[in-house]
Amino acid sequence: MNALSLEIGLRGAGVMLVCLVVANFFAAKRWRYEENLAGAEPMVRQIFHVHCAYILSIMAALALLCLGWPQLLMDGRMGRVLCGFFGLFWGSRVWVQLAYYDRQTRRENRGWDILFISVFATLSAMFTLTALFP
């Protein structure tokens, strides 16, 4: 793998991340976050919204970096550390999907389940490869 193909891969990861950010807004509607949280105490609702927004901001910032400045992720020790972190971040997300999320819900939405697992695995592989790239 050369630097050019790695850069193209990172830009592809950026596109996937943009899609994930957009998908989160649809997920909020699909899984009726508001109705499901309506009975919860205000603090619980607020913490959920805050965590959700912060995770989205991480994905959006990473997308921006991948699409606009992929070379920053490929250069130097820090780029490797950042990519290593996101390799773990997305790798663990595959594990969360497989081991933690409700099996019945996943079975009922198998197509989406496979799509998201594939996206998370691809992102993990892409960032891990960038971290290891000489």
Judged by beta carbon, residue 22 or residue 96, the one nearer other proteins is 96
> Which stretch, 2-10, 80-88, 113-121, 125-133, contacts other proteins (CB under 8 A)?
80-88
In order of 4, 41, 49, 78, 106, the CA distances from 13 in angstroms are: 14, 37, 25, 19, 24
> Pattern 5-34, binding to other proteins, x per CB under 8 A?
--------------------------x-x-
Residue 62 · residue 86 · CB < 8 Å: yes
> Which stretch, 4-12, 40-48, 110-118, 120-128, contacts other proteins (CB under 8 A)?
40-48
Residue with tokens 């950026």: 14
What tokens appear for 81 in the block? 């550390």
Nearest by Cα to 115 from 87, 94, 133: 94
- Which residues in this chain contact other proteins in the complex, by CB under 8 A? 31, 33, 36-37, 39-44, 46-48, 50-52, 54-55, 57-58, 61, 65, 69, 72-73, 75-79, 81-82, 85, 89, 92, 96, 100-102, 105
